[in-house]
Amino acid sequence: MTMDNVSLFGVSFNNLDMEKTIQEIDLIIQNSNKKYLVTPNVDHIVKLKSDKLFKKIYDNASLILADGMPIIISSKLLRKKLIERVTGADLVPQIMKLAEQKRYKVFILGAKKEVAQRAKDKVLYNCKTPFLIESYSPPFGFEKNNTENLKAIRKIKNFGPDILLVSLGSPKGEKFIYQNLEILNVPISMSIGAAIDFLAGKKNELLKLCRYYH
């Protein structure tokens, strides 16, 4: 798929709406590529100025989607209009819908154990055709403990997901994906912030899954 890019604040955003984003993710999975996407907001853009690894991760991302509304507003003011805000909270339910349609396997890394379980339960309850979805909530600071880090990697590899959703916060989530991209061997990975909390209904702004599945 040919994509237009919009350069703002030193970042080259893919100018995609939600529908085309999902199409692009589906294409990446079909091609069995080891790729990842990022969803920058203003805080991320500020971090890019001082965190060289984070900047490198952004430079090598396959998809860069504008999450923050100030970015969308700025693009209009600068006459480099981004057509749509694609947030992690909006993207994850659509990814679940894609997984149901295509029988893709989904792995959630991070979030509290009970939150991840509640999110899985809600997704599977609302889908017409169940698909494989697994989760693991590693202990805090696991990425600094070689044994715990390898345990998380092993759980992902043993499950063999098509889609990896990392809920560790930023930039921790993006760094885990980038540093383990080759060994994880997942077609598409993404750091999703608090999207699992929304999915589980923990946040007040609960995403209504029924509008995607019915």
Give tens-digit pLDDT for 85-126.
999 889 999 999 999 999 999 999 998 899 999 999 999 988
Q: What is the token pair recorded at 62?
A: 């396959």
Domain count, the chain: 1
- In 84-103, which positions are buried (b, 16+ CB within 10 angstroms) versus exposed (e)? bbbbbbbbbbbbbbbbbeee
Q: pLDDT tens, 174-187?
A: 999 999 999 999 99
Burial class of residue 133 (count of CB atoms within 10 Å of its CB; 0-12, 13-18, 19+): buried
Domain containing 105 equals: 5-213
Cα separation of 207 and 118, whole Å? 13
Mean pLDDT to the nearest integer, 61-81: 93
On whether the CB atoms of residues 64 and 12 are closer than 8 A, the answer is: yes
Whole-prediction pTM value?
A: 0.90
- Altogether, the residues listed in the chain come to a count of 214
**For the chain, percent of residues with pLDDT exceeding 70:** 93
Q: Which is nearest to 190 in space by CA: 163, 209, 171, 169?
A: 163
**Distance of alpha carbon 200 from alpha carbon 65, whole angstroms:** 23
